[in-house]
């Protein structure tokens, strides 16, 4: 029986291992983490992350062939295959600060693997890492190996939060990169054998190590670039009277472009896109490719522009000041169906509004008050458990996450308890502007034709 251990019980490690355990009942899967709170959460009825469908998967195999533990060294030592799914944030200090990936957690995991291993192991990079990281890991393991042999594989994760379980059950592809040696290829075969239990063979792609590592960064850069492209067009739509939804639909019909990932928004968020593009930019600079670096940097530049454009639109529409005015923020998570707030555009928008002295009241169905306060560094905001409460006496409502429930709120009820003129700024294009205008709202929706009111009060980006 193959024994798998995954280091890192986060958004990737937890769901991925739960699905492997479910699909391979004869494989023992142990997820380990240094965070006692996280492991306690995985062993409880309230999992530490919110992900549709995950509770059911975990309940079906926890205690059977899926285990969560803080005894990192024991389970790493016993495993045949060790996945490393630790966090790889952007470096905040020193060489490459603000761009390069911080591999501190990765390196300490690699050194620990070398310390505790007594049998040969396949080490799988699950975290998103800079291209060539496998080489560095090989060196650490080889220099501390005491005769234990390791094969490093790159097996990046492409799951998106909110749809993680669905993405894991039916992935577009599974990518496995390995050394082009007989030992490397044998290791690839072992991992392929695990996924082949439920993923069709033609969806399991095998490549060399560097292609697999780079494909992950490139995929995220392409996805983010699509959003920045449509967001750039949204600004032009507002200036010209075109409607970004119509433009996106028209261009998306071209089968070479395709319809997905073309929703204009207040900006992309999440723990991956910005971090991975910055990492790509840094790698390009390190390889002496400043033009390529600059090209990708612009994807983030447009994203920042989109967020500040939104804030400016709110402030300028409300007579150029929001000081002392209550603004209800609906949605704080970086996207629907998750409680994750990492790099959420809501943080920048709230900071912008607070900077202009607005009184901000936030409602999100999944984000805790404690998390909001942490993200906004304890700045004075109200966090409510109800959208209508957030809107009471507010001058404006800003929709920042595309939660389905926000589509069907009773906006007339909100209008009745708000100050007048009452504004809705829809950063996700989920409400029907015409219906809201009929109620009496002044409505701004990203990339949509502007109300006369908004035209009369142009925003400076």
Ligand X SMILES: O=c1ccn([C@@H]2O[C@H](COP(=O)(O)OP(=O)(O)O[C@H]3O[C@H](CO)[C@@H](O)[C@H](O)[C@H]3O)[C@@H](O)[C@H]2O)c(=O)[nH]1
Tell me which residues in 244-283 interact with ligand X (CB under 6 A).
Answer: 261-263, 265, 268-270, 272-273
SS3 per-residue string spanning the chain: CCEEEEECCCCCHHHHHHHHHHHCCCCEEEEECCCHHHHHHHCCCCCCCCCCCHHHHHHHHECCCEEEECCHHHHHHHCCEEEECCCCCECCCCCCCCCCECCHHHHHHHHHHHHHCCCCEEEEECCCCCCCHHHHHHHHHHHHCCCCCEEEEECCCCCCCCCHHHHHHCCCCEEEEECCCHHHHHHHHHHHHHHCCCCCHHHEEEEEHHHHHHHHHHHHHHHHHHHHHHHHHHHHHHHHCCCHHHHHHHHHCCCCCCCCCCCCCCCCCCCCHHHHHHHHHHHHHHCCCHHHHHHHHHHHHHHHHHHHHHHHHHHHHCCCCCCCCEEEEECCCCCCCCCCCCCCHHHHHHHHHHHCCCEEEEECCCCCHHHHHHHCCCCCCEEECCHHHHHCCCCEEEECCCCHHHHHCCHHHHHHHCCCCCEEEECCCCCCHHHHHHHCCEEEECCCCCCHHHHHCCCCC
Judged by beta carbon distances under 5 to 8 A according to partner kind, the member of ligand NAD, ligand X, none in contact with residue 363 is none
Residue 352 CB, nearest approach to ligand X (Å): 17
Query: Which of the listed partners (ligand X, ligand NAD, none) does 7 bind, with a CB threshold of 5 to 8 Å by partner kind?
Result: ligand NAD
The answer to the question of whether 178 is labelled as a binding residue is: no
How many amino acids of this chain bind ligand X (CB under 6 A)?
A: 20
How many of the other CB atoms lie within 10 Å of CB of 34? Answer: 16
Q: How far is the CB of 329 from ligand NAD (least distance, A)?
A: 23
Our CB check for ligand X shows the closer of 117 and 225 to be 225
* Among the residue ranges 193-201, 220-228, 346-354, 382-390, the one whose residues contact ligand X (CB under 6 A): 220-228
- The interface with ligand X within residues 283-322 (CB under 6 A) comprises none
The smaller minimum CB distance to ligand NAD, of residues 11 and 423, is found at: 11
CB of 125: closest distance to ligand NAD in angstroms?
A: 9
**Residue nearer to ligand X on the CB measure, 309 or 335:** 335
CB of 27 or CB of 262, closer to ligand X: 262
Residue number of the CB closest to ligand NAD reads 10
Q: Is 249 a catalytic residue?
A: no
114: tokens are 């070398």
In angstroms, what is the minimal distance from the CB of 270 to ligand X? 3
127 is in an annotated binding site: yes
Residue 33 interaction partner, one of ligand X, ligand NAD, none, beta carbon < 5-8 Å per kind: ligand NAD
Token output for 52? 């549709």
Is 89 marked as a binding-site residue? yes
Site for ligand X in 117-156 (CB under 6 A): 128
List 21, 223, 359, 383, residue binding ligand X (CB under 6 A): 223
For residues 189 and 25, give the distance between their C-alpha atoms in angstroms, rounded to a whole number.
19
Map the footprint of ligand X across residues 318-337, applying CB under 6 A: 334-335
Decide: is 415 part of the binding site for ligand X (CB under 6 A). Answer: no
129 vs 450, which CB is nearer to ligand X? Answer: 129
Residues in the chain: 461
CB-based contact 59:22 (threshold 8 Å): no
Among 87, 88, 133, 220, interactor with ligand X by CB under 6 A:
220
Residue 67 binds which entry of ligand NAD, ligand X, none, CB below 5-8 Å type-dependent = none
**86 appears as a binding residue in the annotation:** yes
Q: Name which of 88 and 263 has its Cβ closer to ligand NAD.
A: 88
Query: Considering beta carbons, is residue 7 or 262 the nearer one to ligand X?
Result: 262
Shortest Cβ distance from residue 339 to ligand X (Å)? 12
- Catalytic: which of 272, 284, 350, 398? 272
Q: Which residues are catalytic?
A: 272
Extract the annotated binding site for NAD(+): 8-13, 33, 38, 86-90, 127-128, 161, 272-275, 342
Could you list the residues that contact ligand X (CB under 6 A)? 128, 157-161, 220, 223, 227, 261-263, 265, 268-270, 272-273, 334-335
């Amino acid at each position: 029986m193959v024994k798998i251990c995954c280091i890192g019980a986060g958004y990737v490690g937890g769901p991925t291992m739960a699905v492997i355990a479910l699909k391979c009942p004869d494989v023992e899967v142990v997820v380990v983490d240094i965070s006692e709170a996280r492991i306690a959460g995985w062993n409880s009825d309230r999992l530490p992350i919110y992900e549709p469908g995950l509770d059911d998967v975990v309940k079906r195999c926890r205690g059977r062939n899926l285990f969560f533990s803080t005894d990192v060294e024991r389970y790493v030592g016993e495993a045949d295959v060790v996945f490393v799914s630790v966090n790889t944030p952007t470096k905040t200090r020193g060489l490459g600060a603000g761009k390069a990936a911080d591999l501190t957690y990765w390196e300490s995991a690699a050194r620990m693997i070398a310390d505790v291993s007594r049998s040969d192991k396949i080490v799988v990079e699950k975290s998103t890492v800079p291209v060539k990281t496998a080489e560095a890991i090989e060196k650490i393991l080889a220099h501390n190996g005491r005769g234990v042999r390791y094969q490093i594989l790159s097996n990046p994760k492409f799951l998106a939060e909110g749809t993680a379980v669905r993405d894991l059950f039916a992935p577009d592809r599974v990518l496995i990169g390995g050394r082009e040696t007989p030992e490397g290829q044998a290791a690839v075969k072992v991992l392929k054998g695990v996924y082949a239990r439920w993923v069709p063979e033609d969806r399991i792609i095998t490549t060399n190590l560097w292609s697999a590592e780079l494909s992950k960064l490139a995929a995220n850069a392409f996805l983010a670039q699509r959003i920045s492209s449509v967001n750039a067009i949204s600004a032009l739509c507002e200036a010209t009277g075109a409607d970004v939804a119509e433009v996106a639909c028209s261009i998306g019909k071209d089968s070479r472009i395709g319809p997905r990932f073309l929703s204009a928004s207040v900006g992309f968020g999440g723990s991956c896109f910005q971090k991975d593009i910055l990492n790509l930019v840094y790698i390009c600079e390190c390889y002496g490719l400043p033009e390529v670096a600059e090209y990708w940097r612009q994807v983030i530049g447009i994203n920042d522009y989109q967020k500040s454009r939104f804030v400016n639109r709110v402030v300028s529409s409300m007579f150029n000041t929001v000081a002392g005015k209550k603004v209800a923020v609906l949605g704080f998570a970086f996207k629907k169906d998750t409680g994750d707030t990492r790099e959420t555009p809501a943080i920048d928008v709230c900071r912008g509004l607070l900077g202009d002295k607005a009184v901000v009241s936030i409602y999100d169905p999944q984000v805790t008050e404690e998390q909001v306060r942490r993200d906004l560094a304890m700045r004075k905001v109200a966090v409510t458990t109800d959208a209508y409460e957030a809107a009471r006496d507010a001058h404006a409502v800003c929709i920042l996450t595309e939660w389905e429930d926000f589509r069907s709120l009773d906006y007339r009820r909100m209008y009745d308890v708000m100050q007048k003129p009452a504004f809705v700024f829809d950063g996700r294009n989920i409400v029907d502007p015409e219906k809201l205008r009929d109620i009496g709202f002044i409505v701004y929706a990203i990339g949509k034709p502007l109300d006369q009111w908004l035209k009369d009060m142009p925003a400076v980006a």
